[in-house]
A = this chain, B = another copy of it.
Amino acid sequence: MNKDIIIILAEPQSPGNIGMTCRAMKNMGFTQLRIVKGCDRFDSEALKFAVSARDLLESAQVFPDLASAMADCTLTVGTTRRHGKYRQEILSPPEVGSRFREQVAPDCRAAIVFGREDNGLTTEELALCRWHATIPTSNEYGSLNLAQSVLLFCYELGKASESAGGGRPIEMANSKEMETLFTHFDATLNKIGFLNEQNPDHMMRSLRRIFFRANLDSREVTVLRGMLTQIDWASSAFDGRKRS
């Protein structure tokens, strides 16, 4: 199972780290690397640090942004060092392992996303991910090297797949379906003046967290979009004026 989990590097800045990431992935039996923009992966440093994992470097796929890199993925985990000010569950690597073990259906793609060496993932990028995870570190020096972080997650996921039990897999909606739902929510709530009144980003982030936690399946996404379509219809006469 773990061979199918995709590792996504968002705008990696150091070719050496891309190479080391390939080595760490191959050490743990992972093969699928995706890169969002970032530096030259065929730089000599990348080749040097990949050692015997140059095949991964060569087969890596490159995408223009994170949304397209994970459009076909259902279980998406964004890694972060920050503990958001909004309520958001942050998983540990073994917790990610058990969720994957319990919830990955045979044909659903899973991805773990790692951000830039200096600044990690942006708030917007994290918002695209179903779950968030962090590696517990010393308070004194929490900045892990990028490839070290990848290794730790691959190691834990490898362990999780070894002990794979018989959890019931859930058919979750994929990233593209979820984004279509959020786009619809955003448009509808804007039109009825709900997002105008409040901090719109804040509100959409709350909705994202709620619906990601709910592990929606495709049918439920359809139900919610039907509800939004009906709200669109019912409020078509609404002129967006403020409530008194």
Q: Which residue of B lies closest to A87 (CB)?
A: B217
By the criterion CB–CB under 8 Å, are B194 and A220 in contact?
A: no
Copy tally for this chain in the complex stands at 2
A82 contacts the other chain (CB 8 A) = no
By the criterion CB–CB under 8 Å, are A53 and B141 in contact?
A: yes
Q: Once bound together, how far apart are the Cα atoms of A203 and B230, in whole Å?
A: 13
By the criterion CB–CB under 8 Å, are B24 and A148 in contact?
A: yes
By the criterion CB–CB under 8 Å, are B227 and A20 in contact?
A: no
Q: Which residue of B lies closest to A22 (CB)?
A: B141
Q: Once bound together, how far apart are the Cα atoms of A155 and B226, in whole Å?
A: 44
A85 contacts the other chain (CB 8 A) = no
Q: Once bound together, how far apart are the Cα atoms of A143 and B23, in whole Å?
A: 9
Q: Which residue of B lies closest to A211 (CB)?
A: B214
Beta-carbon contacts under 8 Å, A117-160 to B:
135-138, 140-145, 147-148, 151-152, 155, 158-159
Q: Once bound together, how far apart are the Cα atoms of A241 and B41, in whole Å?
A: 59
Beta-carbon contacts under 8 Å, A229-244 to B:
230-231, 233-235, 237-238, 243
A215 contacts the other chain (CB 8 A) = yes
Can you show 23 pairs from A to B with CB atoms below 8 A apart?
A: A23-B145, A24-B145, A26-B140, A27-B137, A87-B220, A89-B170, A136-B158, A148-B151, A151-B151, A151-B152, A191-B234, A193-B230, A194-B231, A198-B226, A203-B223, A206-B220, A210-B211, A213-B213, A213-B214, A231-B235, A234-B234, A234-B235, A237-B237
Q: Once bound together, how far apart are the Cα atoms of A142 and B210, in whole Å?
A: 36
Name which of A147, A206, A214, A217 has the most chain B CB atoms within 10 A of its CB.
A214
CB-CB under 8 A from A108, the residues of chain B are none
A192 contacts the other chain (CB 8 A) = yes
Q: Once bound together, how far apart are the Cα atoms of A151 and B141, in whole Å?
A: 14
CB-CB under 8 A from A143, the residues of chain B are 27, 51-52
Q: Smallest distance from the beta carbon of A183 to chain B beta carbons, Å? A: 16
Q: Smallest distance from the beta carbon of A240 to chain B beta carbons, Å? A: 8
A29 contacts the other chain (CB 8 A) = yes
Q: Smallest distance from the beta carbon of A130 to chain B beta carbons, Å? A: 12
The 10 A-B residue pairs with the shortest CB-CB distance, nearest first, are: A192-B234, A29-B138, A234-B235, A214-B214, A194-B230, A234-B238, A237-B237, A26-B141, A213-B214, A210-B214
Q: Smallest distance from the beta carbon of A101 to chain B beta carbons, Å? A: 16
